[in-house]
């Protein structure tokens, strides 16, 4: 997802344009750029890697000037995060400059064709192909509008495009095909944006473009036409009631819930990561004598879940060390691989763990979400999880995607080590493919039950989160979610620990959650239930998160959230999502600051 | 935005009060439900309302009078014999023009904050049909929706059986819909549910999640919940200067209106509301979440707790009214007790239209219809409904009453 903004006015718009892409940063923030055109038709472009404020300072955006401009904020899915790959892109003679959101599927063919005509490419982006294509059409047709439309007709795939050109000063050309774009109508300026956050501070009147349409915008008026026929379309100006925060959350009350609901799609993406990347990572893991996984906070628990998957399916037990403790504990050497888990790729503690490892000549690897981040640039092996920007401070979708990636690597490693057969691995992969639907069903069929339980128990200040085997790190991660977002004390531990001390705590003021394995995991299932019974015997409240069983007897839970029968390979992941909802609804009942909990920051970049 | 407000439903579950008034004329927190709805619409910037009326519309029009909605206008449409939401909507079709989007509001919906603002904002996000959704513990009574990560509704399951295990966000009775929707209604013969399915199939229906409180005023005990929702927001006491208080103990936030009077030795525990002109005798105990309408008389030594008493009613001396709703013009004789808990402490079931409905509440008293007469010394079982205008004789122990009940 990327963000496009554009402004046409008769006075300087530089500051306004930078503000516009700042308001679009939630759509992506790994690199950005602006292009401005002055009265005499000279276009200046400035862009780099980083968030808007960072790049604006580095590249002196505000020292530029112009009364027409387009800008872009990027979240790379393909192509590296580099200055050359950032938008806007210009044609060789700088006469045409465009920004683009979407994926042009026939860019390889077009690139070859244009290459034959002598066009040189500076970047690996499909966007540069478009701008050269327009330039090529202009040389042939001599009219900007015909060149623009003809180029659009040759594109396959999805796009939203905004263009300025020295050949037709005072205008922005834009078009839309399955990527969002709309126009803003102001009193002394007009606007273009991926969504109205681009111009919400300047106007509340908008014109919606539809797929297959293009528009030509000047500071006084606009015209909308069909790409296919060139016919003008009458489109009303809509006056809308807008709220910036709400718009960015897409109607969800909080980013946290939005990101929870994105999880089916995010899991799909984690499953679509190229098998070659996964295999390479698995090879790296098993080729070294020592294999470490490190993370901190949520990613430490993600690493722990990974540890169980490696143990259960690859027959190796990686050492999992919290990255803040890494340098005090880890004996790494040149025969070690250190795999770091981080959403931002900038977490200070995890970066230092990697540096510690590198200094001792260990191989390094990372699973991260933000392309182009410090970790992405320093490690030997990298898997990008592709979860899209995560705005809520509490990690939900990104953490889940990391768990999936680790499970996939564990399966590959298992096959390579002949711990499991390729056939077994295939079955498990198939089970993983069922996860998005299972999550979708859970979100859409159980939310109200989970909400009701959270509401009923919201006066409780102390919780124990218990699990065994792979469900133990799930319990710990879930307890952390509860603490972070609802400020309620929750302690995650192996349920076997209970009778070794903690059970003394059980009373009316302490609730427990038991993450119950599937019935197929016979031993785990029995042992976990006996822990629940121990608590019940002391009149403690137990919430069971469990799967449907064939058992006739009632299970020892005070309340329960019953999930459909699920293959054990993916069962822990489903429970992670239940825990997301439980902590979310507890926090909303307690009226907490959901997306920005007190004292927390999204990416902890300090020691 | 043009608005379509549906008030014509029969409110069959709101027995015994639905016999004498539409749901929108249920008093809550000292006003009527319709007053809250109109006030919220007005503060959401709605100036013109098309109000479909039906069942007991005269009660509503008497209340609204001529200039109740002074800053805008209400156009009243009679739904006649229409018996479904969809057919009632179709009666108002001419009030809208092709290309319009309109705000559709079910008048039985109650929230203390402005749910309509969210509807308008959410619509503004995409300019597409929008439905407000919320969480409720009784999801089986509503349309359950399935959402995707873009807040598009992918599926609606109407009133799923409990066995289906569905528990999700439900349709909250507030929509922004296009004029085309009337076409879908026509095609589906006024079936709202099928028409919404048409929107899902042919275009996009966006959802917006309402997280604040939300009540569908369907059952008589919902009146108590609505009162509580309103009064828990009160944080100060408001006593009109004309009120006569004589050695009254007041705790917590209370509202006491014009010309009310409370005699010596009474205790008022807030949150509580006492309407204009009401009289509270000596040594009365009024406990939290009690709402007493205008011109009521509460006799000496009575105890009231979590209850609603509509206008012009009398509670005789030494009575107890708890977790109950008493209609307007009701006369309750001395020493009458509403028993508000079953001996086994289980949730109370109420006979509504021949069906035993579980209220989900372990404390629930009686529901006494408008104009009923309850003789002295009666003891009323939990969850009893006394119909409007019903007459219950005194209950004597000497000589023993025959216990016969009869209609006036």
Q: With respect to residue A206, please indicate whether it lies within any of the assigned structural domains.
A: no
Instruction: Render pLDDT for B175-184 as a digit per residue (tens, 0 to 9).
Output: 999 999 999 9
A144 occurs within a structural domain: yes
Q: Is residue A200 included in any domain, yes or no?
A: no
**Do residues A213 and A175 lie in contact, with contact meaning Cβ atoms separated by under 8 Å?**
yes
Q: Are residues A337 and A393 in the same domain?
A: yes
**Separation in Å, CA of B269 to nearest CA in chain A:** 24
DSSP A76-139: -SSS---TTTSSPEE-TTSSEEEEEES-BTTHHHHHHHHHHTT---SSS-HHHHHHHHHHHHHH
* A180 occurs within a structural domain: yes
Give the rounded percent of residues in chain A with a pLDDT score beyond 70: 97
- Give me B392's structure tokens: 């219950």
Task: Tell me how long chain B is.
Answer: 408
| Tally of domains in chain A | 3
Task: Among A403, A433, A463, give the residue marking a domain's end.
Answer: A433
Contact B167/A at CB under 8 A: yes
Q: By percentage, how much of chain B surpasses pLDDT 70?
A: 95
Domain that holds residue A297: 250-433
Flag whether residue A448 sits within 8 Å of chain B, measured between CB atoms: yes
The mean pLDDT of A20-28, rounded to a whole number, is: 84
Q: What is the CATH number of the domain that holds A600?
A: 3.40.50.10490
In-domain check, residue A205: no
Q: Residue A302: which of A391, A383, A358, A415 has the closest Cα?
A: A383
Across the interface, of B139, B147, B155, the residue whose CB is closest to A261 is B147
Query: pLDDT per residue over A382-426, tens digit each?
Result: 999 988 888 888 999 999 999 999 999 999 999 999 999 999 999
With beta carbons under 8 A apart, name residues in chain B contacting A241: 45, 120-121, 124
Question: Residue A602 catalytic?
Answer: yes
Q: Tell whether A255 and A225 lie within a shared domain.
A: no
pLDDT tier, A243 (very low <50, low <70, confident <90, very high otherwise): low
B68 pLDDT more than 60: no
- The two tokens of residue B305 are 């707790």
Residues A222, A7: Cα–Cα separation, whole Å:
12
Chain B CB contacts of A257 under 8 Å are: 209
The long-range contacts involving B331-336, CB below 8 angstroms and separated by at least 24 positions, are B331/B372, B331/B373, B331/B374, B332/B368, B332/B374, B333/B374, B333/B375, B333/B376, B333/B377, B333/B378, B333/B394, B334/B299, B334/B376, B334/B377, B335/B376, B335/B377, B336/B374, B336/B376, B336/B377, B336/B378, B336/B379, B336/B380
Q: How confident is the model at residue B303 (pLDDT cuts 50, 70, 90)?
A: very high
* Residues A428, A439 within the same domain: no
- What are the tens digits of pLDDT across the range A480-536? 999 999 999 999 999 999 989 898 999 989 999 999 999 999 999 999 999 999 999
Q: Compute the nearest-CA separation of A522 from chain B (Å).
A: 26
Q: Could you give the residue ranges of the DSSP H alpha helices within A178-297?
A: 244-248, 255-261, 263-272, 275-287
**Interchain contact, B149 vs A265, CB within 8 Å:** yes
Establish whether A2 is a catalytic residue. yes
Residue A214 has pLDDT above 90, yes or no: yes
Predicted local distance difference test score (pLDDT) of residue B72: 58
Cβ atoms < 10 Å from Cβ of A460: 16
Query: Per residue in B5-52, pLDDT tens?
Result: 999 999 999 999 999 999 999 999 999 999 999 999 998 888 889 999
A290 and A261 Cβ atoms separated by less than 8 Å: no
What pLDDT does A251 receive? 78
Interface of A with B in 578-597 (CB under 8 A): 588
Percent with pLDDT over 90 in chain B? 77
| B407 pLDDT more than 50 | no
Please tell me which residue of chain B has the smallest CA distance to A548.
B165
Residues A41 and A114 in one domain: yes
What pLDDT score was predicted for residue B399?
86
Q: So what's the pLDDT on residue A93?
A: 83
CATH number, domain containing residue A20: 3.60.20.10
Q: CA torsion sign, A245 to A247 to A253 to A256? A: negative
pLDDT tens string A531-578: 999 999 999 999 999 999 998 888 999 999 999 999 999 999 999 999
Measure CB to CB from residue A251 to each of B125, B127, B135 and give the nearest one.
B125
Chain B residues with CB under 8 Å of A440 CB are 146, 148
Residues of A in contact with B101 (CB under 8 A): none
Which range, A103-107, A380-384, B395-399, has the best average confidence (pLDDT)? A380-384
Contact between chains at B124 and A240 (C-beta distance less than 8 A): yes
Task: For residues A313 and A454, state if they share a domain.
Answer: no
In a shared domain, residues A15 and A144? yes
| Domain architecture of chain B: domains with CATH | 2-218 (3.90.550.10), 234-407 (2.160.10.10)
Q: Are A283 and A377 part of one and the same domain?
A: yes
Q: Is residue A203 part of a domain?
A: no
Same domain, A553 and A419: no
Q: How large is the average pLDDT for residues B368-391? A: 96
Locate the chain B residue with the closest alpha carbon to A237.
Answer: B127
Task: Quote the minimal CA–CA distance from A264 to chain B in Å.
Answer: 8
Together in a domain, A254 and A290: yes
Do A118 and A164 share a structural domain? yes
Q: How confident is the model at residue A173 (pLDDT cuts 50, 70, 90)?
A: very high
> Taken in order B89, B92, B95, B98, is the CA torsion positive or negative?
positive
Q: What is the pTM of this model?
A: 0.80
Q: Which of A182, A205, A240 is the last residue of a domain?
A: A240
Are residue A114 and residue A231 in the same domain, yes or no?
yes
ipTM comes to 0.79
Task: Give domain status of residue A524, yes or no.
Answer: yes
Q: How far is B155 from chain A (nearest CA, A)?
A: 10
Mutation target among B167, B212, B360 for the A interface, most CBs of A within 10 A: B167
Residue A204 maps to a domain: no
3-class DSSP state for residue A163? Answer: strand
Q: What residues contact A501, with CB distance under 8 A and at least 6 apart?
A: none
* Mean pLDDT value of segment B73-97: 91
Tell which wins on pLDDT, A209 or A354.
A354
> A512 and A414, same structural domain?
no
Structural contact between residues B21 and B13, judged by C-beta atoms closer than 8 angstroms: no
What gap in Å lies between CA A165 and CA A277, rounded to an integer?
41
The answer on pLDDT for B358 being more than 80 is yes
């Amino acid at each position: 997802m990327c963000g496009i903004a554009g402004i046409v006015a008769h006075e300087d718009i530089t500051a306004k344009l930078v503000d516009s892409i700042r308001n679009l940063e939630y759509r992506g923030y790994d690199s950005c750029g602006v292009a401005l055109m002055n009265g005499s038709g000279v276009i200046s472009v400035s862009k780099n890697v980083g968030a808007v404020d960072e790049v604006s300072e580095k590249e002196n955006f505000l020292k530029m000037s112009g009364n027409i401009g387009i800008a872009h904020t990027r979240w790379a899915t393909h192509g590296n995060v580099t200055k050359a790959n950032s938008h806007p892109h210009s044609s060789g003679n700088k006469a045409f400059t465009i920004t683009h959101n979407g994926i042009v599927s026939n860019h390889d063919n077009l690139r070859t064709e244009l290459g034959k005509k002598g066009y040189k490419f500076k970047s690996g982006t499909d966007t540069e192909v478009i701008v050269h294509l327009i330039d090529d059409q202009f040389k042939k047709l001599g009219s900007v509008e015909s060149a623009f439309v003809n180029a659009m007709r040759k594109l396959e795939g999805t796009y939203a495009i905004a263009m300025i050109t020295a050949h037709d000063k005072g205008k922005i050309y834009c078009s839309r095909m399955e990527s969002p774009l709309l126009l803003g109508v102001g009193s002394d300026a007009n606007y273009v944006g991926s969504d109205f956050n681009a111009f919400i501070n300047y106007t509340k009147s908008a014109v919606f473009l539809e797929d297959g349409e293009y528009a030509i915008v000047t500071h006084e008026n606009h015209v909308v036409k069909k790409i296919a026929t060139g016919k003008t379309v009458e489109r009303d100006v809509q006056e809308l009631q807008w709220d910036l925060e709400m718009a960015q959350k897409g109607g969800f009350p909080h980013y946290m819930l939005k990101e929870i609901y994105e999880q089916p799609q995010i899991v799909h993406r984690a499953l679509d990561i190229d098998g070659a990347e996964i295999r390479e990572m698995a090879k790296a893991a098993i080729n070294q004598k020592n294999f470490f996984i490190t993370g901190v906070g949520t990613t430490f628990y993600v690493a722990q879940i990974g540890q169980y998957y490696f143990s259960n399916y690859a027959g190796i037990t990686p050492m999992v060390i919290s990255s803040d403790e890494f340098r005090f504990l880890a004996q790494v050497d040149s025969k070690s691989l250190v795999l770091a888990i981080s959403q931002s790729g900038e977490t200070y503690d995890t970066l230092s763990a990697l540096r510690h490892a590198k200094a001792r000549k260990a191989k390094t690897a990372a699973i991260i979400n933000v392309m182009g981040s410090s970790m992405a640039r320093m490690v030997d092996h990298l898997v990008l999880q592709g979860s899209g920007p995560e705005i809520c401070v509490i990690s939900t979708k990104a953490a889940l995607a990391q768990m999936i990636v680790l499970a996939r690597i564990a399966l590959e490693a298992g096959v390579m080590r002949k711990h499991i057969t390729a056939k077994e691995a295939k079955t498990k992969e198939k089970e993983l493919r069922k996860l998005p639907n299972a999550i979708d069903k859970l979100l859409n069929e159980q939310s109200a039950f989970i909400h009701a339980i959270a509401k009923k128990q919201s006066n409780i200040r102390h919780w124990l989160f218990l699990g065994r085997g792979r469900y133990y790190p799930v319990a710990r991660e879930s307890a952390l979610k509860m603490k972070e977002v609802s400020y309620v004390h929750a302690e995650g531990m192996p349920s076997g620990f209970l009778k070794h001390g903690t059970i003394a705590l059980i009373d009316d003021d302490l609730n427990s959650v038991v993450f119950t394995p599937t019935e197929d995991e016979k031993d785990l299932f029995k042992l976990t239930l006996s822990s629940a019974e121990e608590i019940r015997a002391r009149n403690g409240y137990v919430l069971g998160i469990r799967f449907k069983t064939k058992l006739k007897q009632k299970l020892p839970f005070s309340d329960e959230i019953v999930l459909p029968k699920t293959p054990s390979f993916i069962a822990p992941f489903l429970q992670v999502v239940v825990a997301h909802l439980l902590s979310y609804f507890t926090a909303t009942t307690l009226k907490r600051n959901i997306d920005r909990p007190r004292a927390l920051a999204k990416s902890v970049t300090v020691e | 935005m043009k608005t379509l407000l549906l008030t014509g439903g029969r409110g069959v579950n709101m027995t015994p009060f639905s016999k004498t008034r539409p749901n929108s004329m249920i008093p809550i927190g000292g006003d009527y439900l319709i007053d809250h709805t109109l006030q919220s619409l007005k503060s959401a910037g709605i100036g013109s309302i098309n109000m479909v009326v039906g069942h007991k519309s005269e009660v509503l029009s008497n209340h609204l009078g001529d200039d109740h909605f002074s800053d805008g206008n209400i156009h009243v449409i009679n739904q006649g014999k229409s018996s479904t939401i969809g057919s009632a909507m179709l009666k108002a079709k001419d009030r809208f023009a092709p290309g319009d989007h309109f705000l559709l509001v079910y008048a039985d919906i109650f929230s203390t904050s402005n749910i309509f603002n969210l509807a308008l904002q959410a619509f503004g996000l995409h300019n597409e049909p929008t439905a407000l959704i919320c969480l409720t513990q009784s999801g089986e009574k509503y349309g359950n929706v399935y959402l995707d990560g873009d807040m598009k509704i992918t599926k609606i399951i109407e009133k799923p059986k409990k066995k289906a295990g569905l528990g999700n966000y439900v349709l909250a009775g507030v929509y922004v819909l296009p004029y085309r929707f009337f076409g879908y209604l026509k095609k589906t013969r006024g079936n709202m549910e099928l028409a919404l399915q048409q929107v899902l199939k042919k275009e996009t229906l966006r959802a917006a999640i309402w997280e604040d409180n939300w009540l569908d005023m369907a059952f008589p005990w919902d009146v108590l919940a609505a009162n509580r929702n309103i009064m828990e927001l009160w944080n100060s006491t408001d006593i009109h200067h004309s009120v006569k208080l004589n050695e009254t103990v007041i705790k917590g936030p209370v509202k006491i209106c014009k010309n009310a009077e409370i005699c010596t030795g009474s205790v008022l525990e807030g949150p509580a509301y006492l309407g204009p002109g009401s009289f509270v005798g000596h040594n009365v105990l009024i406990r939290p979440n009690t709402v007493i309408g205008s011109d009521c008389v509460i006799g000496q030594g009575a105890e009231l707790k979590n209850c609603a008493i509509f206008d012009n009613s009398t509670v005789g001396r030494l009575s107890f009214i708890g977790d109950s709703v008493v209609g307007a013009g009701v006369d309750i004789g001395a020493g009458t007790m509403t028993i508000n808990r079953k001996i086994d402490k289980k949730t109370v079931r109420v006979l509504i239209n021949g069906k035993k409905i579980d209220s989900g509440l372990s404390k629930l008293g009686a529901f006494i219809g408008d104009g009923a007469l309850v003789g002295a010394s009666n003891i009323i079982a939990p969850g009893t409904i006394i119909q409007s205008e019903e007459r219950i004789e005194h209950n004597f122990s000497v000589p023993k009453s025959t216990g016969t009940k009869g209609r006036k």
